[in-house]
Structures are given as C-alpha cells and as structure tokens.
C-alpha cells in the first residue's frame, strides 16, 4: 500500500433542506460577507435574506461564465473595499472557484496571476484563506471540496489553477434541493464532469485507498442517477445521488489528481466557448480507449486494466462481468451516456482539425496530465482529440 496524504474540508453538511441553516452557520465565521454567485437569482436572493436576518452584511458579486483573471481581481477589490471578513460561493464551479480564489487572496495579498500555475508567478498560498463557505447548486465540479481554483487567462490562451491546501473551504453545504431548477443541459454536462472526475481519480497515478472508496461510490451514483436527473429535474432522489457523486469526485480529485481529459480541458476551455462538462463528456471515452491501449502494450494484465474493469462493471450495473467485457464497457457506456444526454460535439464550438496540434501542445503542460495513469505519446494525444471532434 502506498503512503498517502489526505486533504478535506473540515465540515461538510449534506442533506435536503440544509440550506435553511446558512444564517446560523455563516454567523459563526464573520459579519461582512462577499457573496459570489451565478445561476439562480432567486436562490441568491434567498441566501442574502437569510444572511441579513442573521446580522450579516452581504455584498453581492455575480460571476458570469467561467472565472477569468479579471473577474477574480474585480471581486477581490469589491471584497476589500467592502471590508469583507468572509466569502460565500453559491452556484456552479465557476462561482465557487471565484469565491475560493478571492478568499485566498484576501488573506495572502496580491492578485490572481501572482499565484496561478503555468501562466502566472506560481507563488505559494502560505496563509489560511479568509473563512469561506461553498454552496453548490449544480452537481458537477466538486469545487466545494477541492483545494484549487481554476481561473482562465484568455490573453495567455490557457486555464490554470491557484492551488494549496490553505484554500479549502471552512465549510461545504450541499443541499440537493438547490439543484432542482438546474436546466437539463447543465445537468447533463456537469454530471458528466462529476462522472469523469471519479473515473480519472480512480485510474490516476495518484490514486490511494481513501480516494478509491469515494471514487467508486461516485461512479456508481452517477451511473445510476445522471440519466434520471436529466429526464426529470424534480427527481430529488436522483439529484441527491448526483450531489453525492460530485462531492465525492471533488474530494477524490483533490487528493488523487485527474488525467488527460482534464489536461485537454484547460486549453480547450480557454480558447473556445465550450462548457467544461462538454469537453469532459466528449473526451472521456477516447482517453479511456487510449489508456487501455497503452496499458495493453505493456502487459495483458496491467493493473490499470483491472481498474477500468471495475469502472465498466459499475457503469454497466453488472458485477459479474468478465474483465475483458468490463474493460470494453468502461468507454462504451460513457460514450452511450453522452449521446443519450444530447451532449453536443466539440466541432459545434469551433474546434476542428486545425486545433489538434496546438491544443495538444498546450494540454501537455496542464497539471492534470501528469496524473494520467500512463504516459501517452503526442501522437496518441492528438488522436484522442481528433476522435473527440
């Protein structure tokens, strides 16, 4: 068994109706909150009302689209000018990552690029972030429990992270009822992101026993419930299972790392107007196939193959499948699910053959790529993207 470290948000509150507790929970952390939100305005308004009722001043900042360097710096200035002593992120991963970055910068000083990997100075987040609470309203990124904030740098044509255990939220409040109003297309793409993260964390070179347990449970939950949540957004049982899958995916990835799917997601999302979950859904079956081929080239019983067999059995819902059948099922079920969820192809977002070589070159620099279960050649990576288009 390998040695391992494990990082997690100190308090996770999960369950239906738990959103109503936010006033009392937030009051223990501060008096002036920056509320970073996206998505549902009624939910944000309800949150603001509960904060005010608890004696907390709520300064609101709406995050539009995936956070960019300018968004984070603008929100940070709002927080500083308003003398905020805490931050609350409400919504999808975009709002939560922006809130996470702001909380970190409030305590550590400077601006976003000072701490960003790859495209920035890469300074270490050395001080604990200002107290902050993550409240997801979509089931996808698991950003509520990760220790990195993904920020876009359009001028550098890349998305990169501000990273460090000091960025972990003080509290993650996950109420499945907040996801009921999520549109079907967002349910589909964000859900595929959660599933992808569980699969990549389970097969990652950084996988370890604690993340394995969470990732496998998340794969099972998403495999059984994503289609149901897509068909009927009011199916609270399905929403609950997807919220759990996203939560587990976030804990797993922040400890085990991801892989080539998310390696590609960084440059593709920065250079094309494609939702992150759509990138994950499109690439996942092809990355699985490439990793299986690379493992078989080494050994017919390579340990990575056995992990993909575990994935295939869970997704197919057939625990008695042979290894050979289960390995084949891993990628096939992901491809079938993406089709059934009406996930649009990458070509719909302007990604074509001309993008293959430059996007592959950028993807190789992404931090997630180093956790891919096996090294993939540039030719193999280019073929993955070509097939996903």
**What pLDDT, in 10s, does the model give residues 29-66?**
999 999 999 988 999 999 999 999 999 999 999 999 88
Q: Could you tell me the sign of the dihedral formed by the alpha carbons of 278, 64, 177, 26, in that order?
A: positive
Phi, psi at residue 91, to the nearest 5°? 135, -145
CA nearest to 251, candidates 178, 160, 148, 180 = 148
Residue 288 has pLDDT above 90, yes or no: yes
DSSP SS3 for 132: strand
Using alpha carbons, list the distances in angstroms from residue 9 to 37, 168, 249.
20, 6, 13
Mean per-residue pLDDT, 122-146: 96
Distance CA 356, CA 361 (A): 9
Beta-sheet pairing, 158-163 with 148-153: antiparallel
SS3 61: strand
The helices-and-strands tally (H runs, E runs) of the chain is 14, 8
Token digits for 300?
């017919």
102: closest CA among 77, 135, 134, 66?
A: 77
pLDDT at 91: 96
Q: What is the pLDDT of residue 206?
A: 96
Q: What tokens appear for 389 in the block?
A: 């288009």
* Mean of pLDDT values over 264-282: 94
CA–CA gap between residue 266 and residue 150 (Å, rounded): 9
Q: Is 90 exceeded by the pLDDT of residue 327?
A: yes
C-alpha span between 223 and 90 (Å, rounded): 26
pLDDT score recorded for residue 153: 87
pLDDT per residue as tens digits for the range 183-241: 999 999 999 999 999 999 999 999 999 999 999 999 999 999 999 999 999 999 999 99
pLDDT at position 76 is: 97
Whether pLDDT at 98 is above 90:
yes
The pLDDT of residue 157 is above 80: no
Q: Is the pLDDT assigned to residue 154 strictly greater than 90? A: no
- What are 59's strand-pairing partners? 34
Sheet containing 171-174: order of strands: 11-14, 171-174, 132-136, 86-91, 32-37, 57-62
Least confident of 145-149, 150-154, 336-340, 353-357: 150-154
pLDDT at 119: 84
Beta strands in 106-223 (DSSP E): 132-136, 148-153, 158-163, 171-174
High-pLDDT (> 90) share of the chain, %: 93
Residue 235: the pLDDT is 98
Phi, psi of 181 (to 5 degrees): -90, 0
Please report the beta strands in 55-178, taking only residues with DSSP state E, as ranges in sequence order: 57-62, 86-91, 132-136, 148-153, 158-163, 171-174
CB under 8 Å to 148, separation ≥6 — which residues? Answer: 161, 162, 163, 164, 167, 254
Residue 155: predicted pLDDT: 81
C-alpha distances in Å from residue 210, one per residue of 152, 278, 306: 31, 28, 18
Which pLDDT band holds residue 156 (cuts at 50, 70, 90)?
A: confident
Instruction: Give the per-residue pLDDT at 286.
Output: 98
Query: What pLDDT does 160 receive?
Result: 86
Which pLDDT score is estimated for 16?
98
Q: What is the CA radius of gyration of the chain?
A: 20
Q: How high is the pLDDT of residue 231?
A: 97
**What pLDDT sits at residue 133?**
98
**96 near 132, Cβ under 8 Å?**
no
> Burial level of 70, CB count in 10 A (0-12/13-18/19+)?
middle
Round the average pLDDT of the chain to a whole number and report it.
Answer: 96
Strand ranges in 70-205 using DSSP code E only, listed in sequence order: 86-91, 132-136, 148-153, 158-163, 171-174
Percent of the chain with pLDDT over 70: 100
**Residue 219 vs residues 213, 330, 333: alpha-carbon distances, Å:** 10, 11, 12
What pLDDT is recorded for position 28? 96
- Give the model confidence (pLDDT) of 364-379 as tens digits: 988 899 999 999 999 9
């Amino acid at each position: 068994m390998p040695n391992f470290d494990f990082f997690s948000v100190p308090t996770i509150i999960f369950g239906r109706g738990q959103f109503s507790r936010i006033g009392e929970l937030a009051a223990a952390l501060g008096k002036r909150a920056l509320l970073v939100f996206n998505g549902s305005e009624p939910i944000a308004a309800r949150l603001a009302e509960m904060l005010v009722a608890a004696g907390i001043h709520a300064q609101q900042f709406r995050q539009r689209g995936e956070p960019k360097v300018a968004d984070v710096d603008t929100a940070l200035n709002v927080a500083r000018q308003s003398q905020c002593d805490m931050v609350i992120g409400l919504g999808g991963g975009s709002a939560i990552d922006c809130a996470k970055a702001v909380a970190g910068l409030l305590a550590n000083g400077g601006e976003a690029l000072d701490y960003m990997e790859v495209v920035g100075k890469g300074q270490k987040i050395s001080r604990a972030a200002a107290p902050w609470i993550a409240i997801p309203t979509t089931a996808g990124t698991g950003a509520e429990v990760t220790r990195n904030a993904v920020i876009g740098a359009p001028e550098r044509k890349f998305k990169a992270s501000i990273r460090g255990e000091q960025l972990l939220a003080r509290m993650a409040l996950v109420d499945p009822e907040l996801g009921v109003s999520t549109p079907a297309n967002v349910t589909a793409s964000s859900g595929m992101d959660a599933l992808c993260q569980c699969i990549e964390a389970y097969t990652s070179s950084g996988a370890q026993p604690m993340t394995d347990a969470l990732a496998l449970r998340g794969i099972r939950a998403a495999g059984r419930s994503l289609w149901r949540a897509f068909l009927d957004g009011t199916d609270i049982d399905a929403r609950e299972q997807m919220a759990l899958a996203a939560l587990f995916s976030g804990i797993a990835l922040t400890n085990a790392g991801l892989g080539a799917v998310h390696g590609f997601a960084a440059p593709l999302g920065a250079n094309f107007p494609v939702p992150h979950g759509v990138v994950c859904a499109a690439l996942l079956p092809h990355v699985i196939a490439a990793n299986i081929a690379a493992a078989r080239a080494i050994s017919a019983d390579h340990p990575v193959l056995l992990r993909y067999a575990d994935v295939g059995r869970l997704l197919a819902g057939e625990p008695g499948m042979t290894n050979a059948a289960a390995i084949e099922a891993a990628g096939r079920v992901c491809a079938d699910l993406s089709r059934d969820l009406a996930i649009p192809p990458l070509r719909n977002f302007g990604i074509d053959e001309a993008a293959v070589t430059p996007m592959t070159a950028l993807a190789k620099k992404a931090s997630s790529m180093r956790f891919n279960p096996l090294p993939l050649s540039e030719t193999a990576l280019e073929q993955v993207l070509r097939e996903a288009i």
